[in-house]
């Protein structure tokens, strides 16, 4: 006798193997299951989520082919661009939160989303802050690179004059150097 598989069983097994639901392979397994359910005419729970998603206006061409490293990045990218994330992304993120809540305080969000206990320098948020343009230091480094030929001091002076006129150049440069050294 064959045992009936649970809903998202393949995705669940893959998430356990990879340490988190926050993984593109897991999202693909969820999408496959949702597609199968839609083909079979199932209109319950997440099946309705797929139907609703397919009814909303499509992404513009410039956003359609964007690729993200993880479902959480895809969620963030879609929301910031004004689009609904695909159902498989919402389900994967929902499962991460479910794991966090089921942990009853024994696991961190980092562990629930990335499969690793919290460590500041290894955390997703810390890594993002080191590369994301939301960081004034990343923005400054890119600005300085675009305005080649300027010394660090002159570049900081011009950058702050334009973007943060009340900020002290010396304290900004001290903080920028700490940022560059990884402290």
* Mean pLDDT across the chain: 80
Q: How far apart are CA 57 and CA 63, in angstroms?
A: 13
Same domain, 112 and 155: no
Same domain, 151 and 97: no
* pLDDT, position 34: 86
Instruction: Answer whether residue 128 is part of any domain.
Output: no
Q: Indicate the residue among 95, 118, 141 that finishes a domain.
A: 118
The total number of structural domains that make up the chain: 2
Same domain, 96 and 177: no
Altogether, the residues listed in the chain come to a count of: 183
Which residue in the block uniquely carries the two structure tokens 């500041």? 120
What residues of the chain score a pLDDT lower than 70? 1-5, 43-48, 58-65, 118, 120-125, 127-135, 183
* pLDDT, position 45: 65
Instruction: Answer whether residue 86 is part of any domain.
Output: yes
Which residue in the block uniquely carries the two structure tokens 């999202």? 27
Domain coverage including residue 111: 9-118
Same domain, 44 and 73: yes
* pLDDT, position 47: 58
Helices and strands: H and E segment counts in the chain: 11, 0
Percent of the chain with pLDDT over 90: 17
Alpha carbon 4 to its chain centroid, in Å, reads 33
Q: Indicate the residue among 92, 118, 144 that finishes a domain.
A: 118
**Predicted TM-score (pTM) above 0.85:** no
- Nearest CA-CA partner of 176 in 129, 121, 138: 138
Same domain, 76 and 102: yes
Residue pair 14/33 in contact (Cβ under 8 Å)? The answer is no
């Amino acid at each position: 006798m064959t045992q009936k598989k649970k809903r998202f069983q393949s995705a669940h097994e893959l998430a356990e193997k990879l340490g988190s639901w926050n993984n593109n392979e897991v999202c693909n397994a969820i999408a496959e299951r949702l597609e199968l359910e839609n083909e079979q005419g199932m209109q319950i729970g997440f099946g309705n989520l797929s139907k609703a998603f397919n009814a909303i206006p499509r992404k513009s061409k410039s956003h359609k082919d964007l690729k993200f490293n993880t479902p959480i990045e895809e969620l963030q990218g879609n929301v910031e661009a004004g689009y609904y994330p695909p159902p498989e992304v919402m389900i994967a993120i929902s499962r991460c939160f479910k794991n966090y809540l089921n942990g009853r305080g024994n696991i961190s969000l980092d562990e629930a989303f990335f499969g690793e206990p919290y460590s500041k320098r290894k955390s997703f948020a810390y890594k993002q802050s080191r590369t994301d343009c939301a960081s004034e230091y990343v923005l400054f480094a890119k600005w300085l690179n675009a305005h080649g030929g300027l010394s660090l001091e002159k570049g900081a002076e011009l950058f702050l004059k334009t973007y943060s006129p009340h900020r002290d150049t010396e304290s900004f440069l001290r903080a920028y150097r700490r940022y560059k050294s990884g402290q």
